[in-house]
Structure 1
Amino acid sequence: MGIYYHQSYSKARGTCNFGDDINPFLLGKLFDESIIDSKDVCLIGIGTIINDRELSRVDCYPRKVVFSSGVGYGSLDSSRFDDTWDFACVRGPLSAKALDLPEELAISDAGLLIPELLAISNEKVDKRYPVTFIPHVESDLSSGNGLQDLCKSLGIKYLSPRVESKEFVVEVIRSSKVITEAMHGAIIADAVRVPWVPVKFLVHEPFKWKDWCASVNLPYNVSDLGLEFWDNRRGNFSNFKNAWQLFKRSRVENALSKVNLSVEPLLSSDSIFEKRKNALWDVVRLINERYAK
């Protein structure tokens, strides 16, 4: 298959992650079947995958086409980028700068197109949740039980990034506000015009957040939920360690409550959102014209 995205996490963990595993659906909907099935052209999709480790896995392709991917998570030797590489667009201006690309190629993350491709209409989905919290997938796996409990006590909907893709998008639409540690939680919220608040708990990579926020003309301003805690899944914590985890959980609950009550949510302007979406569609047409057989 002529597409590449970050798969090793899902394979190693035996679970899915929306931000990675949406790629086959997204790219399959956008691009001609001859490109998707190509042995010569590789489409590199959404995610923070422009680094030496990830890109070494596509060296075998005669042609590599980058579509809204982002730089990060490791070293990057720019000398690898010869005339077999086609940077159609990248996630944001920081990625473009790191790659020495023209500013006009810094469009945005193509996750902005997902709700449209899923044919989900905001008007047909009722609002059910005043606030929804979306953890990073690692936080969901390591601390999900405790996070769900504290969300329940605060009257906040908990949404795992490991649910099926359409369910994930619909649940975001059902929310009046999203508080999210997962960046694709913010991207989908912005795409369906739901205000969102970025937070840090267990996993946070500032560069990718700054990169994407800049692409939609929004400030990078993350709220820290404080102390990390872990679920006692195996039941082998000592009494002291268990008490310490519960204490930290209570501090996170207080921090999340404060964020919910006092932090102003973000949402890109309608004009910027439409401009970025239209630019992404222009790139899709260009790639199809250039590479479809």
Structure 2
Amino acid sequence: MKPYYWESQHGNFGDDLNLWLWDFLLPGFRDVHPDVLLVGVGTVLNNTLLPAEGRKLVLGSGFGYGSPPDVGDKGLWDIRCVRGPMTAEKIGVAESLGIVDPAVLVADMPEFADQPKRYPCAFVPHWESAVAGLWPVVCATAGMHYIDPRGEAKAVIGEIAQSELIIAESMHGAILADAFRVPWVAVSTSVNINSFKWQDWALTLGVEHRSRRIPISTRAEAIIKGARFWGVDYEGATFAGAGDVAVAQAAPRSGLRLAAKQMLAAPSTLALWQASRAEPQLSTDARLLERKERLYAVLEQVRRDYL
């Protein structure tokens, strides 16, 4: 069996954790049923990403982009659970299969136990924001720790667990924070935020998805998101890929240039600081435990059937 996940060329910890999470949850799964894809953590239930051929075992994946796949062929699709009730409805399975995002079980791994608290407040941006934004500088100015979602997944998750408060533009930043019992505040730098997948997950834990708006931090970030920056509309503008990323991430050549960048990012800094003072969210211990127990029950049945 092979784990399937969406692989960003830049790296994205919320997807990359599939590389080792299933070895913890289903030891030995790689050695059986080579014709089966294990479709786990990620917003991958659509006709574009998943291959049409081959058997698929779905464990907690979500819908959120494109068109939902036709899962009517039981010989190809073994859907044991999905991220939430909205995904279940979208793909046409029982609402009871919308249990929770499997990433919550990362917090049960022994290597993440008893994490010391090192960061009073940390920001986890969406990977697109990290690619083209000035968020390390913004965070430093706002007095908070910056967590790059493109980093090695276990290192990123460790920093989340070591925080006392998480400001999350990355949905899995919020999911992991909640799993580690770290209060979190959801934010977005784009009006095009995919609220479907956030609401889908939030419903499973009985929390409300409410996102605070944070202004974009750089022109390059506005281009990649097709958004506005200081009154200029970049919708439809072309992002040149690696070239624009290099420009966005290049260190300023002078103190004057850094000061100019900080000035342009001042609205972002203020809004992020205000978010850190907002009332955070956290699911109840009882609700999280109930969802985890349901997910573990599904995994136990999968062990019987496949291992």
Q: TM-score range by the shorter chain?
A: 0.7 to 0.9
Note if 1:267 corresponds to 2:267: no
Which residue identity lines up with residue 117 of structure 2 in the other structure? K
Which residue identity lines up with residue 212 of structure 2 in the other structure? S
Which residue identity lines up with residue 217 of structure 1 in the other structure? G
For residues 243 and 258 of structure 1, do their structure 2 counterparts lie closer, same or farther at Cα, with a shift above 3 Å needed? same
Which residue identity lines up with residue 89 of structure 1 in the other structure? C
Partner of 1:48: 43
Note if 1:198 corresponds to 2:193: no
For residues 289 and 228 of structure 1, do their structure 2 counterparts lie closer, same or farther at Cα, with a shift above 3 Å needed? same
Partner of 1:136: 126
Aligned residues of 1:52 and 1:76 also touching (Cα < 8 A): yes
Shift of 1:246: 5.0
Q: Distance in 2 between matches of 1:51 and 1:103?
A: 18
Partner of 1:90: 82
Shift of 1:102: 1.3
Aligned residues of 1:36 and 1:43 also touching (Cα < 8 A): no
CA offsets, 1:161-196, max 9 Å, x none? 122223222211221100011111111101110000
Alignment of 1:148-187 (within 5 A): 148-187=136-175
For residues 234 and 274 of structure 1, do their structure 2 counterparts lie closer, same or farther at Cα, with a shift above 3 Å needed? closer
Shift of 1:81: 3.0
Q: Secondary structure at the match of 2:33?
A: coil
Q: Distance in 1 between matches of 2:202 and 2:15?
A: 19
CA offsets, 1:24-47, max 9 Å, x none? 201122224245553222210110
Equivalent of residue 101 in structure 2, options 109, 118, 127 = 109
Equivalent of residue 206 in structure 2, options 205, 217, 222 = 217
Alignment of 1:114-129 (within 5 A): 114-122=106-114, 125-129=115-119
Partner of 2:274: 258
- Percent of aligned positions with the same letter in both sequences? 34
For residues 95 and 248 of structure 1, do their structure 2 counterparts lie closer, same or farther at Cα, with a shift above 3 Å needed? farther
Note if 1:60 corresponds to 2:53: yes
For residues 215 and 36 of structure 1, do their structure 2 counterparts lie closer, same or farther at Cα, with a shift above 3 Å needed? farther
Q: Distance in 2 between matches of 1:36 and 1:266?
A: 40
Note if 1:21 corresponds to 2:9: no
Root-mean-square deviation (Å)? 2.4
Aligned residues of 1:228 and 1:248 also touching (Cα < 8 A): yes
Aligned residues of 2:138 and 2:262 also touching (Cα < 8 A): no
Q: Distance in 2 between matches of 1:235 and 1:273?
A: 42
Aligned residues of 1:197 and 1:264 also touching (Cα < 8 A): yes
Shift of 1:234: 5.8
* Farther-moved stretch of structure 1 (36-45 vs 106-115): 36-45
Q: Distance in 2 between matches of 1:106 and 1:268?
A: 17
Alignment of 1:282-293 (within 5 A): 282-292=297-307
Partner of 2:197: 208
- The two structures have a TM-score, normalised by structure 2, of 0.82
For residues 175 and 52 of structure 1, do their structure 2 counterparts lie closer, same or farther at Cα, with a shift above 3 Å needed? same
CA offsets, 1:224-249, max 9 Å, x none? 1024523644689xxxx999965541
Structure 1: stretches of 5+ with no match in the other structure: none
Note if 1:281 corresponds to 2:273: no
Aligned residues of 1:71 and 1:95 also touching (Cα < 8 A): yes
Equivalent of residue 176 in structure 2, options 162, 175, 188 = 188
Q: Distance in 1 between matches of 2:99 and 2:167?
A: 24
- The two structures have a TM-score, normalised by structure 1, of 0.86
Q: Secondary structure at the match of 2:100?
A: coil
Partner of 1:4: 4
Q: Distance in 1 between matches of 2:210 and 2:203?
A: 11
For residues 246 and 102 of structure 1, do their structure 2 counterparts lie closer, same or farther at Cα, with a shift above 3 Å needed? same
Which residue identity lines up with residue 254 of structure 1 in the other structure? L
Q: Secondary structure at the match of 1:286?
A: helix
Note if 1:100 corresponds to 2:115: no
Which residue identity lines up with residue 77 of structure 2 in the other structure? W
Aligned residues of 2:125 and 2:169 also touching (Cα < 8 A): yes
- Structure with higher helix content: 1
